[in-house]
A and B are shown apart, each in its own frame.
Chain A
Amino acid sequence: MNLLVILQSFLLISGALMFCIGSLGLIRFPDTYTRIHALTKADNLGLGLIVLALILNIESVALALKLLLIWGLVMIASALSGHLVAWEADEQCIPLCQPGETEPHLESENE
């Protein structure tokens, strides 16, 4: 029992920290493409860890499957939207940032 709680707390906290890392990447990374990279990985793993931790608590198989389904759906959705945004960004020729370079400051670009 005690081991279970320790495992759960480890999974929960690391999942939440994963989300934080994703958001941090979203803020710190220099251009659109790298930001997509930061985000699609972090939220899949973060949600996965949290779902695993919650499943350990649940007796019914149906509920556990529902949680797994939610995780799967979020994974597909974020992969899809990451791909779509990258696709359109490429189509619109949004520039890449070279290493060491910072993104040119643009305020409300074509909005």
Chain B
Amino acid sequence: MNELIDLTLICILLGLATLSLFTQSLFRSVMFFILLGLILSLVWIRLDAPDIALAEAAIGAGITGILLLDALAHLRATSNTPPQLLQLKQPRFWLALLSGTGVILALGLAVSEPLSPVVALDLKVSENLAESGVTHPITAILLNFRSYDTLLEVAVLVLAALVALTLRQSDEHPVANEFLPNQLLHACLKLFFPMIFLVSMYLLWAGSTQPGGAFQAGAVLASAFVLFYLVGLKTQLAQNEHYLKRGWIFGLAIFVLVGAVPLLQGQPFLTYPDAHAGVLILLIELGLTLSIGWILFSLFLLSQSASTFQKKDTP
């Protein structure tokens, strides 16, 4: 019976992946992709990887679907304009080609390197878990043992938001966001907003003892913001570019600050004092949650009409 379940899951997964790649209609392939995210989170649970399943459910079935649908609306808006030809004369085309090939070559080199001797990492983690300040091993790895990686990941997210900002300024066909005049929708959302915020904070809090944490909580938070925006409620905060950017670096700043305090006492960067490690990790995660939610929302917001946005350099 178990094999039958696994086999069905695999078949659905492969079928959806193939369908989403090879259907002609864009809308259909977006729908298949959203479903793929859903099935993928089932598969991760089946494989006993609940942290990834949570992230996949929040990002794959939620935020990515909305971003893709939004991109579809943009494509509709631009479908009448002829596609721009690839301009071979521009140096940036060759620059992009060169750097792309360079990255592929470097990755190939890295893959062909012989593997270092195997270390029982899981044993090491469970040995040192007591010192990390949290009891869930994955949170301990993400925010204590390998916190450099997490810091850089958040920096990459900020970079992505900056790229979205530059792209928006060159977008000539913004799609207008309209207010949805539906009473049932607004009544239901009054119930749903507090729930989403509550679940986001729950995931953050649960992260120290069970699957959950800043990334999952941030993705759920972002979907609350996006929902807020989709029904046509505009916030003052989102209309000002300065607040937008401050929100992006808020979590990163807290992370760096907390990491830099030990430097004053002559200890290496990002070492937490043992007594307060749990509290500090929670503080960092709170900052990261707010920032990740805000960045993911900004990625959505920045693809919107420029007229809802106050810009200084345009009249």
Interface set of A (CB-CB < 8 Å, partner B): 73, 76, 80, 83-84, 87, 108, 111
Contacts and interface: CB of A to CB of B under 8 A. Distances in A.
Contacts of A83: 182, 184-185
Nearest to B23: A108
Interface in B157-208: 182, 184-185, 188, 191-192, 195
A87 B182 contact: yes
B112 interface: no
Chain B, interface SS category: helix
Contact of B25 (A84, A87, A111): A111
B27 A111 contact: yes
Interface of B: 24-28, 182, 184-185, 188, 191-192, 195
Contacts of B188: 76, 80
Given A83-B182, A108-B28, 19 more contacts: A73-B195, A76-B188, A76-B191, A76-B192, A80-B184, A80-B185, A80-B188, A83-B184, A83-B185, A84-B182, A84-B184, A84-B185, A87-B182, A108-B24, A108-B25, A111-B25, A111-B26, A111-B27, A111-B28
Contacts of B184: 80, 83-84
Contacts of B195: 73
Contacts of B185: 80, 83-84
A111 B24 CA distance: 10
Contacts of A87: 182
A87 B188 CA distance: 15
Contacts of B191: 76
Nearest to B187: A80
20 contacts: A73-B195, A76-B188, A76-B191, A76-B192, A80-B184, A80-B185, A80-B188, A83-B182, A83-B185, A84-B182, A84-B184, A84-B185, A87-B182, A108-B24, A108-B25, A108-B28, A111-B25, A111-B26, A111-B27, A111-B28
Contacts of A108: 24-25, 28
